[in-house]
Amino acid sequence: VRTDRPVFDVRAVELMDFRTPQPADGLSFGYVLPLGSHEALVEYTEFSPRTLTADGYESAVRQYADEVLRLGEARIVATETGVIPMTDAPMPRQVGASVFRIGAAGGATRPASGYTFAGVQRQTRAVASALRQGRRPAPPVPHSARSRAMDAVLLRALDSGRVDGPALFCRLFARVPTGRLLRFLDGRTRLYEDLSIGLRTPAGPMLRSAVELPWLPRRPFD
């Protein structure tokens, strides 16, 4: 959007702004990435079991811009929408003798955050290195087993409604140093850091979700 008034602070981004109305099933938040004092990327995201209609997303992002951010007169310069698979299902990374998948299709998406860029970069570096050395360029699973296990627990806790998503994320952002939390979302934290973050989540619902995970039926991602 481009606004009439200088409403954006170029030194600050808004990540996971939970002032959006919360859906009955799932959670929602806004993002603001300023490009200048009059221009920013404004994003509305919903973690939901089903996608909304195009009109549903459009009115949600407008409501966020008008009622939460109070941007005033603003021109929409460009729009885009997309869907991120937030799942702990294994994704096939080889689908033919010489056909390999990377990126969102190849399991690079961090299940509980939707972040993918860091995983894609790890996969492409590994593929380039394998090609240089004349090896089979199979892309790796770009997130550690520990990250994936923690994400599976969080997804289950959110999906079962046992934890309040906005409250949990706000608590993490309030209590965990920002740098550490951002590295965690990228899957670059050490074991002691993961444990310290885990301790800041509601213990009972997370433990219950962890215990039931091995018994849940699995189906391949399609």
Ligand X SMILES: Cc1cc2nc3c(=O)[nH]c(=O)nc-3n(C[C@H](O)[C@H](O)[C@H](O)COP(=O)(O)OP(=O)(O)OC[C@H]3O[C@@H](n4cnc5c(N)ncnc54)[C@H](O)[C@@H]3O)c2cc1C
Give the footprint of ligand X on this chain (CB under 6 A): 43, 82, 84, 103-104, 114-117, 120
Tokens matching residue 86:
């937030």
**42/158 with CB nearer ligand X:** 42
**CA distances (Å), origin 111, targets 66, 69, 82, 199:** 31, 28, 16, 20
- Using the minimum distance from each CB to ligand X, give the nearer residue, 47 or 209: 47
Tokens standing for residue 199: 């301790």
C-beta of 41 vs 210, nearer to ligand X: 41
**What's the min distance (Å) between Cβ of 187 and ligand X?**
11
Distance (Å, whole) CA 168 – CA 163: 7
- Name the burial class of residue 108, with classes exposed (0-12), middle (13-18) and buried (19+) by CB atoms within 10 angstroms of its CB: buried
Q: Which is nearer to ligand X, 39 or 43 (CB)?
A: 43
Query: Measured between alpha carbons, how far is 92 from 19 in angstroms, rounded to an integer?
Result: 37
Nearer to ligand X, 107 or 205 (CB): 107
Which of 42/206 has CB closer to ligand X?
42
Q: Where are the alpha helices (DSSP H) in the chain?
A: 54-63, 117-132, 145-159, 165-175, 178-185, 191-198, 203-212
CB of 16 to ligand X, least distance (A): 11
CB of 122 to ligand X, least distance (A): 12
Q: To the nearest whole angstrom, how small is the minimum distance from the Cβ of residue 103 to ligand X?
A: 2
Q: Starting at the edge strand that comes first in sequence, how are the strands of the sheet with 74-75 ordered?
A: 14-17, 27-36, 39-47, 2-3, 74-75
| Least distance between ligand X and beta carbon 93 (Å) | 12
Q: From the CB of 5, what's the least distance to ligand X, in Å? A: 26
Other C-beta atoms within 10 Å of 158: how many? 21
